[in-house]
Structures are given as structure tokens and as C-alpha cells.
Amino acid sequence: MKSFRIILIGSSAGGLQAIMQILPELSKEYPIPIILVQHRAKEPKDLLEEVLQHKTKLKVKQADEKEKILPGHIYVAPPDYHLLIEQNETFSLSSDEPVQYSRPSIDVLFESAASVYGASLLAIILTGANQDGTQGLKAIKSKNGYTISQNPKEATFQLMPESAIASNTIDKVLNLNEIKQFLINLSNHV
Amino acid sequence: MEVEEHQLWGFLEKLYLNFGYDFRDYARASLKRRICHYLQLKKINSLHELWETIESNELALEQMIQEISVTVTEMFRDPTFFKSLNKHVIPRLKTYPFFKVWVAGCATGEEVYTIAIILKEAGLLERSIIYATDINQHSLKRASDGIFPIDSMKNYIANYQQYGGLGEFSQYYSAKYNAVMMNKDLSKNIVFAPHNLAVDHVFNEFELIICRNVLIYFNQNLQNKVINLFYQSLCDFGYLGLGSKESLLFTDKRKNFVEIDRKEKLFMKS
Ligand SMILES: C[S@@+](CC[C@H](N)C(=O)[O-])C[C@H]1O[C@@H](n2cnc3c(N)ncnc32)[C@H](O)[C@@H]1O
């Protein structure tokens, strides 16, 4: 069994439902920090964090710049900013141009995390109607990280997982239920 | 395209020692990303090669500086910030016969015209001078020209309405072809000038300083230095406005400011 120090999740259209199927059974002491980029609108009353918090015992919080990344948390990328990770395992934000029409962008997080965590990184790509994430997954594979895609057959929107799989960057294609089990198993092996 | 940490470090040192551009204390992840993109764009294979192209070519150097700095901006970006500014700061500015505002890291100027419009609607524009500064000369030139693409106006009009503007946004510019030109009366009290927050010093005293979405690109050390610079540049009880994801948390002056509006990142020197 591999041991990971960080779990990244990228999702877009249909993502909230998918994430809510994966997370509920993770315990409060889950040993690996989870970072989520969910494409979101720049709405002042966007309740993503609140909605997720109802579904998990982990602490859900919007990532702040310079914040130290700790276990027991699900960090969510803030609307209208790209989220990046520094070598010292803290967050950075940037308001660079959108990537693949998205800010936050999955590619940006994945690429910056790849060079920080190398082989101890697990990235998961879920449902979505665009190709964000594929470039980032390439960077992760070039650093020997481990990658999972939601089975496109099961995804609400196929394009994002399909594009990832087509680029030969995915180690395992799983259904949401299997992804959930995969994450639970990880905590028994740390 | 891959750039190793130690190579980047060496490149930034050389850039500083030879040309005075100091990016050494910028947050690395985003800087690295911009530089990698620039290498890709220019089909340059390494930082070594990049150095060779900029070393003896000032134009190439300027171009690189422009490309690696993030210039994304909007008019009335985050309307709630300007609403809060209007509510908390404008009443005090009204009590001064004359006051100075510094917009640091003004990029292409959208934020500066935003401030000018707010001051105008409060009847304060004539009593003010706005200093608008940036390191990016190209952006500053665009800012002082005051010409913007017409496509972006739709978004700015929506922002302006969300802010609660008093008039019609279109009264502040004239449209020509696919561009708009901001009214000259807005900019007559604006001074556009280069200023590098990483190396330059205090140059005046201000009643209000706005510096939004600039500090996120700096590491803790440089953030601290810049907040100290702002502290020294503010008059007693002067105001400081930061970007929506920025804070004073990592600076030694955090106890020397009071939070006027925590959510909108509006502070007062105390
Ligand atoms: C993302 S823009 C922010 C524009 C505007 N303040 C806003 O919030 O919309 C960041 C700006 O900071 C400027 N900048 C970066 N480093 C700087 C420095 N050391 N001194 C002054 N300006 C700097 C960049 O050139 C760029 O124009």
C-alpha cells in the first residue's frame, strides 16, 4: 500500500454531489489533508463550504494564503483565486487569468503540488464538462504521483474524467463508491 | 517545462544584482508558474537561456517583467469592498480640506478610476490627489491613457450597480469604436508614477492607502516590509484597504491597526 501525504480533488459540473458521496465516512482523525478545487461562480452567497461541512466530520475551510496545510481538514479553493502550494507546504493564492475559463483552476493546483509532494501525492479527478485537470495530472505523473479518475460512465459530466483518461495520466479508474473505499483504506495504512 | 528551485533562486539573484528588479521575496509557486509560462511562450528551454536573451537586451528584459507580473484587474472589483469604503472612509475624508490617496499596485488603472468615481460622487474629487503606482511601466502607461476595451464595460456596469453608484456608469466615459476613454476630469488629480514596493521608500503622507491583490504575491518577509512602509506612509488614523484574501496576520504591525471592516479588509492606523 502506498502512503500519501496529500490528497487533491478536482471537480466541476456535478462535483458537489460526487464529493458528498466520497467524504461522509472519513473520520475526524483522517490523517491526510484533503484539498478541493471545485469550479465555482464568484457569488457572494456561495455556500459550498457550509454544504460540505454538513456532510463530513473533517473541518471544512476555505484555504487562506500562507496557511499551513494540516491533517483533519478539507481545504477548499476560494472563488475567483487560483490556489497553489509552496515548497514549505503552505498555501498561496493568485488572481492570474482564468485557466480553461476557470479560476480557481484544477491545473494550477495540481501543477504546483506536483513539485512539492512528488510520489506522496494522490490526485482524484471527478465529473466535469471541461478539460481542466488534464495538464495538472501530466505534471503529477511526471513526478510519480498517483492518480485516480472517476469512471466516466458513472460521472454526471464525462468530459473532464474522459480527457484525463485519454491523456494517459490516470493510474486507476473507479466508481465513487470505490473511491470512497480507497480513501478509507488509506487511513488504515498510515 | 520544469524549473528547479535552486535555478530559480540563482536567476532571481542575478536579476536583482544586475538590474535592481527584486523578485526574491515573491511567493515562489505563482512566480515559478509565470516564468515557466513565459519560457514556453518564447520557446526558451532553460533559465540559463532566458538570462542570455535578457542580459544584453533591455527590451527583452522589460517584456519579461511585464509578462511575469499579474495585471488582472477590474473596475469596482469586489463591489462590497467599495461599498464599505464609501460607508466608513468617505465621511472622514469629507472633514479634510485636502487629502491624498495612494493606490499601490494599480496595474492598468481600473481601480484608480474606481476611486476617482467614488470621490467624484461624494463631491471630493477636487480636494484630492491620487497617487497611482506600479512597477510595470507598460501598465502605468495604459492607466494614464485611460482607454479600456468596451467589452469589459458590461461587467463594470454590473459591479458599479452592485456597489450602489449614484448615476449612470456610462456618464464617466465616451465610447469610440471598440474602446472607451475615461473622462479627463476624473484623471486631472491623478499622478501615475513608477514605485516598487519591494525596494522603494516612503514618498509622501496619505489619508488613505489602497493596495489590493498585490500582497498575495509576496512572501511573509516582503509582506511585513510593505505593511511597515504603509504604516509609515499613513497619517494618524489613516485608512488601509487590502484585497479580499489578504490580511495583516503575518506582519509585526498587526497590533497597530484596528479592523474597520473585517470581511472587506479595511483597517485604520491607530
Ligand atoms: C493583480 S494586480 C492588482 C491590481 C489591482 N490592485 C486590483 O486589485 O485589481 C497586481 C499588480 O501588482 C503589481 N506589482 C507586483 N509587484 C510589485 C511591486 N514590487 N511594487 C509595486 N507593484 C507591484 C503588478 O505589476 C500588478 O500590476
Q: What pTM did the predictor assign?
A: 0.94
Residues B130 and B16 in one domain: no
The per-residue pLDDT for range B230-258, each reduced to its tens digit, is 999 999 999 999 999 999 998 999 999 99
What is the CA(B142)–ligand 1 centre distance, in A? 14
Are A93 and B34 within 8 A, CB to CB? Answer: no
Residues B132 and B172 in one domain: yes
Structure-derived torsion over alpha carbons of residues A58, A63, A67, A68, reported in degrees to the nearest 10: 40
Domains of chain A are 6-187 (3.40.50.180)
Residues B45 and B118 in one domain: no
Please indicate, yes or no, if residue B73 is contained in any of the structural domains.
no
The per-residue pLDDT for range A44-58, each reduced to its tens digit, is 667 899 999 999 999
What pLDDT was estimated at residue A41?
Answer: 81
Please indicate, yes or no, if residue B63 is contained in any of the structural domains.
yes
What pLDDT was estimated at residue B4?
Answer: 87
ipTM of the complex: 0.91
Task: Locate the ligand 1 atom nearest the alpha carbon of residue B136 and give its number.
Answer: 25
Residues B60 and B145 in one domain: no
Q: Has residue A189 got a pLDDT over 70?
A: no
Are A86 and B28 within 8 A, CB to CB? Answer: yes
Domain that holds residue B21: 5-68
Q: Residues of A with catalytic annotation?
A: 12, 39, 132
Please indicate, yes or no, if residue B126 is contained in any of the structural domains.
yes
Q: Has residue A1 got a pLDDT over 60?
A: no
Please indicate, yes or no, if residue B249 is contained in any of the structural domains.
yes
Q: Is the dihedral of CA B30, B107, B152, B264 positive or negative?
A: positive
Residue % of chain A over a pLDDT of 90: 89
Nearest in space to A74 (alpha carbons), one of A132, A114, A125, A19: A19
Q: Mark which of B68, B92, B120 sits at the end of a domain.
A: B68
Residues of A in contact with B72 (CB under 8 A): 95-97
Residues B52 and B86 in one domain: no
Please tell me the distance in Å from A84's CA to the nearest CA on chain B. Answer: 6
Residues B102 and B151 in one domain: yes
Mutation test residue for ligand 1: of B31, B110, B134, the one with most atoms within 8 Å of CB: B134
Q: How far, CA to CA in Å, does B48 sit from each of B25, B37, B45, B51?
A: 21, 15, 8, 5
Q: Has residue B214 got a pLDDT over 80?
A: yes
Residues B57 and B85 in one domain: no
Mutation test residue for ligand 1: of B33, B81, B135, the one with most atoms within 8 Å of CB: B135
Q: Find the closest chain A residue to B5 by CA distance.
A: A87
**What is the total count of domains within chain B?**
2
Q: Which three cell numbers stand for residue A30?
A: 483522517
Residues B128 and B183 in one domain: yes
What pLDDT was estimated at residue B2?
Answer: 77
Residues B133 and B241 in one domain: yes
CATH of the domain at B176: 3.40.50.150
Among A81, A92, A96, the residue with its CB nearest the CB of B27 is A92
What pLDDT was estimated at residue A44?
Answer: 64
Residue % of chain B over a pLDDT of 90: 91
Please indicate, yes or no, if residue B244 is contained in any of the structural domains.
yes
Mean pLDDT, rounded, for B96-114: 98
Q: Mark which of B19, B35, B68 sits at the end of a domain.
A: B68
Residues B159 and B186 in one domain: yes
Are B30 and A82 within 8 A, CB to CB? Answer: yes
Q: Cell 539573484 appears where?
A: B13
Q: Has residue A107 got a pLDDT over 70?
A: yes
Are B246 and A65 within 8 A, CB to CB? Answer: yes
Please indicate, yes or no, if residue B9 is contained in any of the structural domains.
yes
Most A CBs within 10 A among B5, B33, B66, hence the mutation to make, goes to: B33
Are A44 and B80 within 8 A, CB to CB? Answer: yes
**Binning pLDDT at 50, 70 and 90, where does residue B174 land?**
very high
Q: Mark which of B17, B36, B68 sits at the end of a domain.
A: B68
Q: Has residue B143 got a pLDDT over 90?
A: yes
Q: Are A123 and A147 in contact (CB under 8 A)?
A: yes
Residues B64 and B88 in one domain: no
Task: Locate the ligand 1 atom nearest the alpha carbon of residue B72 and give its number.
Answer: 1
CA atoms within 13 A on the CB side of A128: 29
Among A81, A86, A142, the residue with its CB nearest the CB of B29 is A86
Residues having CB closer than 6 A to ligand 1 are A 95; B 69-73, 77, 105-107, 111, 134-136, 139, 196-198, 212-214, 217, 243
Q: Has residue B269 got a pLDDT over 60?
A: yes
Residues B97 and B55 in one domain: no
Please indicate, yes or no, if residue B136 is contained in any of the structural domains.
yes
Q: Find the closest chain B residue to A93 by CA distance.
A: B216
Please indicate, yes or no, if residue B74 is contained in any of the structural domains.
no
The per-residue pLDDT for range B51-87, each reduced to its tens digit, is 999 998 999 998 999 888 899 999 999 999 999 999 9
Residues of A in contact with B30 (CB under 8 A): 82, 84, 92, 94, 96
CA distance A79 to A105: 10
The per-residue pLDDT for range A113-164, each reduced to its tens digit, is 999 999 999 999 999 999 999 999 999 999 999 999 999 999 999 999 999 9
